[in-house]
Chains A and B, each alone.
Chain A
Amino acid sequence: MNMRKFKRRINRIIPNGRQLVIGVPFIWLFLFFMLPFFIVLKISFAEADVAIPPYTEIYTFAEQKLQLLLNLGNYAMLGDDELYIAAYLGSLKMAFISTVLCLLIGYPMAYAIASARKELQTVLVLLIMMPTWTAILIRVYAWMGILSNNGLLNGFLMSMGLIDEPLQILNTNLAVYIGVVYSYLPFMILPLYANLVKHDNSLLEAASDLGSSTFNSFWKITIPLSKNGIIAGCMLVFIPVVGEFVIPELLGGPETLMIGKVLWQEFFNNRDWPVASALAVVMLAILIVPIILFNRSQAKEMEGKE
């Protein structure tokens, strides 16, 4: 009798076990990833205040009246001040051009890895993956030593007699492009490789049997088949670069206006949390479409559908 009771109790736990398996990661991600965005949204409607924490409450409850006070001033300021608009546009331009550069450099690299021998492939993938685990900070720092006025690149060019005076590369947009492409190239290559390695070679053979040139088959078969990899790779580069802080801060100069840097300054230097929140909300609104695109391609990948 006791045994049966025990079994019944266990059986009752099983569906609970399923809920637990879903519930634990769900609650964690909801609490620490999704809920915080609503708090950012709330504080973007507050006013900066000299207090701890440095913002005003947006609702008050007194004499049985709940008052909600939405301050739209932060958003109005973002629209009025040319600095912020220029920073958003600068970030989008930087992200777009670097994504295209990464795709142009990364696609042939991913293609070469996917067509290498199987044992060589694991080593090559490891070589591409290793930098993504190394701090962006360190890799960007390495470029500071190379690009500075008395750095290695200028020293090399001058000793070759190609230039007489050092070129100003560090603290310009060019240095930021180099740094961004350098740091994000692996994130483009890895999803492209994962996609290309699954391709069925018989399609290409059939095309060449029917008289298609190598370039034609590549353009009409390989590229369309790798669409999901291209989308995933481009989004993995484009979205984080829009909010990038470390690279423009260390390699960029006064001409480099990027929104991640402006947000950082508003938050840490000016201690204006509401404006920083409003900047984040607008950035998220710009990025929501690319993020959904990325999630869709990722969901397809995870379910194993093509």
Chain B
Amino acid sequence: MKNFRFSSLMLVLGLIFIYLPMLILVIYSFNASKLVTVWGGWSVKWYVGLLDNSQLMGSVLRSLEIACYTAVAAVALGTLAAFVLTRITHFKGRTLFGGLVTAPLVMPEVITGLSLLLLFVAMAQMIGWPQERGIVTIWIAHTTFCAAYVAVVVSARLRELDLSIEEAAMDLGARPWKVFFLITIPMIAPSLAAGGMMSFALSLDDLVLASFVSGPGSTTLPMEVFSAVRLGVKPEINAVASLILLAVSLVTFLVWFFSRRAEEARKKAIQQAIEESAADSWKQPDARRAPAPGAA
């Protein structure tokens, strides 16, 4: 059991290592002093100051807009990809397809960003689109790499599913698309929500891809933060960073909360179904026995 105790200690230390810097950042965002290393009492003036910064607010809205579009598209695309990978085991180019789905998870962002930008430039020359790079091109870039994350999350869930329910529906004559929308989708809904929120958070965070594929006048929030951070630590940036941390923790908590609730509801439903069928099997013989002539 010595092994277990050592690993528990490592886990606690590791969690402190992960969370302490973020905690310090949040505390110092309430620092009244302009000097970031000297504590000058509590204050919210840096947060209030953010509201007057219209350039920053514009980039926040732009980032949120892109993150919404990305979440929707990445869930649709990632779910399709996960479905293909887990349910359609044989088709031409399946290995290539599997590679294309998972490679964006590890591909260095500078490579993806550069290659997408060059694609957009080449497309603009050949077919005249996109004339301007901005929200749409950033959305395409984010959707491509977020879909990979969604595919991983959703395929894990699809693998766990009891295939017999889908098979039963097919045996009863339901068309594949009907089975997919009425049976598969509701059963994987929690992982779709998780994938969507994950894509939202990832899109909101991305700096490198957005820097490559954005055009003039479409700076996102991370790009704005990055250009300020390069010059050093500033109290305003502490405030922005804390707000981003807060938003992401909130999203994470919501994912956890909803997936937990869905899981509990599912367990309850299964339990109920088992109890009901057990009760039915008790009743049935009685019902059959009742009209039996011998007893009458």
Contacts and interface: CB of A to CB of B under 8 A. Distances in A.
Chain B contact residues, majority secondary structure: helix
A246 B245 contact: no
Contacts of A24: 77, 80
Contacts of B114: 40, 263, 267, 276-277, 280
Interface residues of B, number: 96
A299 B101 CA distance: 10
A170 B91 CA distance: 52
Nearest to A30: B100
Interface stretch (A61-69, A74-82, A147-155): A147-155
Given A25-B101, A245-B208, A133 B121 contact: no
Contacts of A263: 110, 114
B230 interface: yes
A126 interface: yes
B88 A22 contact: yes
Contacts of B144: 28-29, 32-33
Contact of B110 (A112, A129, A145, A260): A260
A138 B6 CA distance: 31
Contacts of A136: 205, 207
B172 interface: no
Interface stretch (B20-28, B43-51, B266-274): B20-28
B100 A29 contact: yes
Question: Size class of A's contact patch?
Answer: 35 or more
Closest 6 A-B residue pairs measured CB to CB?
A: A243-B108, A36-B115, A135-B205, A108-B10, A112-B11, A133-B201
10 contacts: A25-B77, A32-B116, A32-B144, A33-B104, A124-B11, A135-B206, A240-B106, A273-B118, A295-B103, A302-B98
Interface of A: 10, 14, 17-18, 21-22, 24-26, 28-30, 32-37, 39-40, 43, 53, 105-106, 108-109, 111-113, 115, 122, 124, 126-131, 133-139, 141-146, 148, 150-152, 155, 182, 185-186, 189, 214-215, 218, 235-236, 239-240, 242-246, 249-250, 260, 263-264, 267-268, 273, 276-277, 280, 283-284, 287, 290-292, 294-295, 298-299, 302-304
